[in-house]
Amino acid sequence: MRLAYGESPVTSDRAEEPPLVAVELGAAARELDTRFLSVALDTSQVVGGRWWSKSGAVEIGRGARRTAPFDLARPELVSLARALAPAYLRVGGTEADHVYYDLALPAPAGDDEPPPGYELALTARTWDALGDFADQADLDLMFTLNAGPGPRSPDGAWTPDNAEALLAYARSRGDRVPVWELGNEVNGYWFIHGLDQRVSGAQYAADVARAKQAVRRWYPEARVAGPGSLYWPSVGEPLRPVFGMLEEFLEQSARSAQPVDIISWHFYPQQSRRCPVATRRASLERLLEPQHLDEVGRWANELTTLRDRHAPDAEVWLGETGNAQCGGEPGVSDRFVASLWWLDELGLAAQRGQAVVVRQTLAGSDYGLLDDATLEPRPDYFASLLWKQLMGATVLSVHAEGNPFLRVYAHCAADSSERGSAVILAINTHPEREASFRAPAPATHAIAYRLTAPSLDSRTLWLEGRPLAAPGGVVPELPGTAIDVEDGVLHVAPASAGFFVLEAGAVPACVPERVR
């Protein structure tokens, strides 16, 4: 049965009383990368490429205006970014496949036009600013190399020469770049670069093998990711029968002496008003419909099934995500409603085996965690901080059924000193009805971190009834409240989320084996 947002799934006389959900925690299901929640800056922001308009006007695939390079030297930005460490900083996006690496020192005077086939130039000065920022913020770089038309030979093969110039320069500086990605949304090249620039799965497997050889020369321990496959809401890979290349790529890569290390893919559950084509237009209400929240799990399952079939040694990363494509949706992506979606996607992605999730973007446009001009944190920034502070790398299996608007996830606590302590993340997406669940025995006490706001479209996030802010880039303390788990039941207010840290010793799966 398909439910409209806010419609009760219960049709009896007791519809106003949603069922009490029993939460059962099982064994540890999987271990995540400690950088599971990671962030991105778009290549266009770094080099000054085409970026999304502030007006939200329709734009064809890429932003219509050129933006100035992002100021990475601001102390407030470094402070706010460092609070999210450990994390990867992915530099990618559509403009990644239009960049020439011009690392001549000193930089040539005057306008430096890139060679034919390229639109933008990344200079040594620009790379220095990026590497310095990542180092100061204690972030590991994940850099997307150009795999577009520029570095391809007449027969369509990717050539590594320009990429090697960047690899050598980054190595000479000692920059931490543990992941290099080849191309951005390679399955969408037919849309961005034209039908004649389509790359087959077999060709891309050969490209990855060549890229991996180049990376190994300069970064022996680094991994190579790709193809950053684009997945659209409702349909998955757009026009898969004609343009799909992922399975062919994985089949061919598995036979290569240099197989892909990380299978990366991109997903946004909605398309903003800027997107010329939409399979699900962004709206505040639609974002929280349970069946739409579940969709990222559907595509994650598809990716992991393909991985298990063809590349069992590779990890699967949700390498780019936000709540609306094409820069985010004004009035939705920068509001409290987005935080409920974001926490749910993190919980579901962890549950479905995504080793890393990269949020587009750290700052910029409507979907940034920070306002790019003022650096004022948006609600999603503080939600991310709480995830980092509380949710550990060990994902627990969870059974919680009976209320489709109550979304429940659990991890062992991030604080390793709290042996046997688990954290339950409970999200109530119903706008009007409280949700309740029975916590697993024998928990009788918990520390609650409850996230609310005056409305779904609020620009402010409240923690335990107090609005959160970071004036001057000073990250605030995020304290919880000690509560009694009365009769074993915990409550989640309408349109809110809560992290509940159970008392130490309550969950055997979270006690290290060496101390059991």
Domain boundaries, the chain: 21-29+396-515, 32-158+170-199+215-392
User: Does the pLDDT at position 159 exceed 80?
Assistant: yes
- Say what percent of the chain tops pLDDT 90: 78
The fold adopted by the segment(s) 32-158+170-199+215-392 is TIM Barrel (3.20.20)
**Whole-model pTM?**
0.94
Select 21-29+396-515's CATH number: 3.40.50.460, 3.40.50.150, 3.40.50.1000, 2.60.40.1180: 2.60.40.1180
pLDDT of residue 18: 72
Q: Are 413 and 385 in contact (CB under 8 A)?
A: no
What's the pLDDT at 112? Answer: 65
Apex CA 89: angle with CA 191 and CA 298, to 5°? 55
Predicted local distance difference test score (pLDDT) of residue 2: 30
What mean pLDDT do residues 98-124 have? 83
Q: Determine the Cα–Cα distance for residues 371 and 369; give it in Å rounded to an integer.
A: 7
What was the pLDDT predicted at 111? 54
* pLDDT at residue 399 tops 60: yes
Q: What is the pLDDT of residues 71-92, one digit of tens each?
A: 999 999 999 999 999 999 999 9
CA dist 112 to 69, 102, 129, 333, Å? Answer: 15, 9, 19, 36
Average pLDDT of the segment spanning 215-236: 97
Tokens of 213: 């050889």
Q: According to the model, what pLDDT value does residue 307 have?
A: 97
Q: Is the per-residue pLDDT at 240 higher than 70? A: yes
Q: Is the pLDDT of residue 421 over 50?
A: yes
Task: Catalogue the E-assigned strands of 103-212.
Answer: 120-123, 140-145, 179-182
